[in-house]
């Protein structure tokens, strides 16, 4: 998924080929550290950048909130949301200052990986060490909420910390499982909780003034057209996950409630965008209208 031979890089190369017909030619440059890529983009050394949704949040709070805790429960919901965002009326929301979102790709649901399956409830996570990406305030707040010890990490070292026992818990997408050998950290005593805690995305950000009018809209549609093929790669990766179990019977609702309260709190704090939370609630309730949250007005922007 992620490497130079993976579908994401392949699609970026296709985008670069196609871009000429939309009035701007792209050259693709590969970075090993997305923090550096984001900084170079900010400094104007690149006109566009592909970042994880959490990192993209600084450039567009609305789209960067797609990756929120418990925001979308499944892939059909994500696809429905992304289709909604290609509508003309969503275009203004995908522009923030001189930054415009040129496309959003699925990276896969984030799941909780635990070294010891006896940590079988939120309460038992208190006091345990959890790796959090140091640039994502939401993860830090979540760790605080559940009473866990946050261990600042980044995408290059969180897996190593989990596998060698420096942390007890990490969140990661299925596509990271084999390449980062997360099965070593789970071992035969751990578990991977089959409950999406976030839908992770890649987002293409553009310096709006560097591209002709309409470029971003075409780019968004182009990248969305391949949603199902990215999803097949993601699902194939999830098929490899050992000890991949849903929460113990009766506990799924507690996790969902906990994530919902966290999301509401983080929105109140300004970390998540209120408009995206409202949109995602409409998507969730369209897919699953019987859910309890669908009968209250929380997370709805009038």
Partner 1 sequence: MALLLVATALAAPPEPAEGEKFLRQYFQFMRNHDMAALSAMIADDSKVEILFMDSDPPMKFTLAKSDYLQQLKALWHFSREERYDIGPIRWQADAASGVLLASLRETEDRLILEGRLKQINDLELRLTRTANGLRITGIRTTTRLQDSAK
**Which residue's CB is nearer to partner 1, number 223 or number 241?**
241
Q: At 192, is the secondary structure helix, strand, or coil?
A: strand
**Which residue's CB is nearer to partner 1, number 102 or number 247?**
247
What are phi and psi for residue 94, nearest 5 degrees? -95, 10
Q: Check if the beta carbon of residue 170 is closer than 8 Å to that of residue 227.
A: no
User: Which residues, in sequence order, are bridge partners of residue 151?
Assistant: 131
Closest CB 242 distance from partner 1, rounded Å: 4
**Which residue's CB is nearer to partner 1, number 111 or number 183?**
183
Q: Which of residues 44, 249, 290, 297 is near partner 1 by CB under 8 A?
A: 249
**Which residue's CB is nearer to partner 1, number 194 or number 282?**
194
Segment lying near partner 1 (by CB under 8 A), choices 21-29, 67-75, 117-125, 129-137 = 117-125
x-or-dash pattern for partner 1, window 192-211, by CB under 8 A? --x-----------------
Query: Distance (Å, rounded) from C-alpha 54 to C-alpha 199?
Result: 11
Closest CB 194 distance from partner 1, rounded Å: 7
Closest CB 292 distance from partner 1, rounded Å: 21
Does 254 contact partner 1 by CB under 8 A?
no
x-or-dash pattern for partner 1, window 209-248, by CB under 8 A? -----------------------------xxxxxxxxx-x
Segment lying near partner 1 (by CB under 8 A), choices 79-87, 112-120, 134-142, 269-277 = 112-120
Q: Can you spell out the DSSP letters for 10-73?
A: HHHHHHHHHHGGGT--------S-HHHHHHHHHTTS-SEEEEEHHHHTTT-TTGGGTT-TTS--
What are phi and psi for residue 13, nearest 5 degrees? -65, -40
Q: What would the two tokens of residue 221 be?
A: 């549609």
Question: Which of 268, 276, 289 lies closest to 104, judged by CA?
Answer: 276
Q: Name residues contacting partner 1, limited to 132-191 (CB under 8 A).
A: 183-184, 187-189
Query: Distance (Å, rounded) from C-alpha 298 to C-alpha 285?
Result: 12
User: Which residues, in sequence order, are bridge partners of residue 4?
Assistant: none
Chain-centre distance for alpha carbon 24: 28
What are phi and psi for residue 177, nearest 5 degrees? -60, -55
How far apart, in Å, are the Cα atoms of 53 and each of 94, 201, 203? Answer: 13, 5, 6
Closest CB 244 distance from partner 1, rounded Å: 7
x-or-dash pattern for partner 1, window 17-56, by CB under 8 A? ----------------------------------------
**Which residue's CB is nearer to partner 1, number 102 or number 190?**
190
Does 118 contact partner 1 by CB under 8 A?
yes
Closest CB 164 distance from partner 1, rounded Å: 14
Interface with partner 1 (CB under 8 A): 117-118, 120, 183-184, 187-189, 194, 238-246, 248-249
């Amino acid at each position: 998924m992620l490497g130079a031979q993976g579908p994401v890089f392949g699609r970026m190369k296709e985008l670069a080929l196609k871009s000429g017909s939309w009035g701007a030619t792209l050259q693709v440059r590969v970075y090993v550290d997305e923090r550096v890529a984001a900084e170079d983009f900010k400094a104007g050394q690149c006109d566009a950048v592909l970042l994880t949704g959490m990192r993209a949040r600084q450039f567009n709070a609305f789209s960067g909130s797609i990756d929120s805790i418990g925001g979308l429960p499944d892939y059909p919901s994500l696809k429905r949301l992304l289709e909604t965002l290609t509508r003309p009326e969503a275009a203004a929301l995908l522009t923030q200052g001189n930054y415009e979102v040129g496309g959003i790709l699925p990276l896969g649901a984030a799941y909780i990986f635990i070294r010891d399956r006896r940590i079988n409830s939120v309460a038992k996570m208190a006091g345990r060490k959890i790796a959090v990406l140091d640039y994502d305030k939401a993860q830090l707040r979540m760790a605080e909420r559940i009473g866990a010890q946050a261990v600042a990490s980044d995408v290059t070292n969180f897996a190593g910390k989990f596998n060698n026992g420096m942390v007890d818990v990490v969140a990661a997408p299925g596509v990271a499982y084999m390449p980062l050998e997360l099965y070593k950290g789970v071992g035969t005593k751990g578990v991977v909780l089959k409950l999406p805690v976030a839908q992770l995305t890649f987002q293409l950000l553009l310096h709006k003034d560097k591209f002709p009018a309409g470029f971003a809209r075409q780019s968004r549609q182009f990248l969305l057209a391949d949603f199902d093929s990215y999803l097949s790669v993601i699902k194939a990766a999830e098929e490899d996950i050992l000890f991949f179990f849903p929460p113990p019977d009766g506990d799924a609702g507690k996790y969902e409630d906990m994530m919902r309260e966290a999301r509401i709190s983080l929105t109140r704090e300004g970390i998540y965008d209120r408009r995206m939370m409202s949109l995602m609630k409409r998507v969730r309730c369209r897919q699953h209208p019987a859910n309890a949250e669908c009968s209250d007005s929380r997370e709805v922007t009038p």
